[in-house]
Structure 1
């Protein structure tokens, strides 16, 4: 049995993963701001715990609470994050900074607080939920992709730094997953473009995103939860798990195609 902390556990992939890991016999702390949504996880043995990932004191209190209760944290799953789409010219820098605060800097703050305990244990696993969007960029997704590209680099550097202390770092890179993520991103895109130069193209892209995420093409979130569970239980974690609709073929195309052709494909598909 491992002591596991997972952020963003109030819905979607985080919720399903927390439930699955608890069913597999682990002691799981599910963290989020929406404690009302976390309450349902109690019935499957997940311990709900409050976290505002953008507040360092909240992160510190959470880690201290788990250490006081359990004496250790074996696995940290950094799942909290969101996607806010919009043309670079339209998106306020305040919103862009918030993307980084949630998707990268909050994650980094929590990781920094957990690392001393893992070093003391001489063991630990950190699993960062990235995206295939950390390997290539989609139309109107500049700030979201910037956070995921940054998370990829952050995780690669972290993996090398902590290896001598018995700590492993892995990236989960989901493709298209059927959650509300795409619908929320589409709403942000449409709202940001109202009355602006990019409105027509943005509304077309938002409509396409809603259609894709409401249809049956996207992968079931359970495949991501199962992949995370596999990483948790495996003897040796892989550095990356590229999984879900479109992930492997799109990353492959981005690798082999000339940039202008890949740009054309992405814009045409949006």
Structure 2
């Protein structure tokens, strides 16, 4: 029996790292990509490869190696991403472009390269790692939320186009996770503040709030890796995958009651500024 093959981006830490280990443990051939190749897990079944999802040549080299090396491409997991937090007025355009290229454009470009192979096979699965931030938003995270909302729409549109070929495109929406994501996002929020910024107080309040939320989360990278695996292997895939019922309900409430969510968010923001 031919081993199944998965490509995973952002595999040097967090959920991507845990997913690479899980798929390899279950006998999959894993092509794991990240800029910090030395941080990618080693072991049987894992091919650690350099990948910068903001660089076209790097994306092409990663995809071509996997396609030429493996007998088939069963799953692509677009996991690479980060949070470019900060006031919309003050986040510089270069940082905006990096956020868009990392969280959205890179996923699109890599997907384009594997789709012809999946189409020839008559099967394949694109698993896009979004966030509950793809259904909601908060101050200081505007560009991050833009990329996750866009990734959701992009994935759903892609799914409507490629189902005819036996390929599916699905979304995983993690909520709070015990990882370095929040620390990096909050560091970015502070780094993006200009000197004497009028948003300093709000930023500090949001950093405190996110840190408190992060300290109370119970989902680990290993927990999310199992959700990745389910999204990759379900015979009849769903459009959305969540780790917890709370994440699912929060996403549903945000989508179904946007005006109410916006009003509640304004109340919370006003309280933070007091």
TM-score range, shorter chain: over 0.9
Mapping of residues 193-204 of structure 1, within 5 Å: 193=193, 194-204=195-205
Q: State the Cα deviation string for residues 86-123 of structure 1 (Å, max 9, x = none).
A: 11111111111110011111111100011111111111
- Separation in structure 1 between the aligned mates of residue 207 and residue 190 of structure 2, nearest angstrom: 6
Which position in structure 2 is the counterpart of 1:23?
25
Which one of the candidate residues 34, 37, 47 is aligned to 1:35? 37
Q: Which runs of 4+ in 1 moved over 6 A?
A: none
Equivalent residue, structure 2, for 1:230: 230
Q: Secondary structure at the match of 2:191?
A: helix
Is residue 123–residue 166 contact of structure 2 (8 Å, CA) maintained in 1?
yes
Give unmatched runs, 5+ long, in structure 2: none
Structure-2 residue corresponding to 1:125:
125
5 Å matches for 1:13-162?
13-38=15-40, 41-162=41-162
1:22-47 deviation digits (Å, cap 9, x = unpaired) = 11111111100101112xx2225311
The residue number in structure 1 matching 2:217 is: 217
Contact 1:91–1:192 (8 Å) recurs in 2: yes
SS in 1 for 2:133: helix
CA gap of 1:268–1:224, structure 2 versus 1, over 3 A, is farther
- 2:189 is matched with 189
Query: Match of 1:208?
Result: 209
Distance in structure 2 (CA, Å) of the matches to 1:2 and 1:44: 14
Taking the aligned partners of 1:31 and 1:234, their CA distance within structure 2 comes to 24
- The answer (yes or no) to whether the contact 2:28–2:45 under 8 Å persists in 1 is no
Query: Structure 1 residues 268, 229: CA separation in 2 closer, same or farther (over 3 Å shift)?
Result: farther
CA contact (8 A) 2:4 2:72 kept: no
Residue 59 of structure 1, CA deviation: 1.2
TM-score by length of 1: 0.93
Distance 1:148 1:260, change over 3 A: closer
- The verdict on how the C-alpha distance between 1:240 and 1:265 changes in structure 2, with shifts beyond 3 A counting, is farther
Deviation at 1:259, TM superposition (A): 4.4
Q: 1:222 to 1:269 in 2, by over 3 A?
A: farther
In structure 1, how many angstroms separate the alpha carbons of the residues matched to 2:271 and 2:159?
35
CA distance in 2 between partners of 1:132 and 1:184 (Å): 18
SS in 1 for 2:242: strand
Contact 1:223-1:244 within 8 A present in 2 as well? no
Q: TM-score, normalised by structure 2?
A: 0.92
8 Å CA contact 1:90, 1:192 repeated in 2: yes
C-alpha separation in 2, matches of 1:144 and 1:260: 17
Question: Partners in 2 of 1:190 and 1:182 — Cα distance?
Answer: 12
Q: Within 1, Cα distance between the matches of 2:200 and 2:211? A: 16
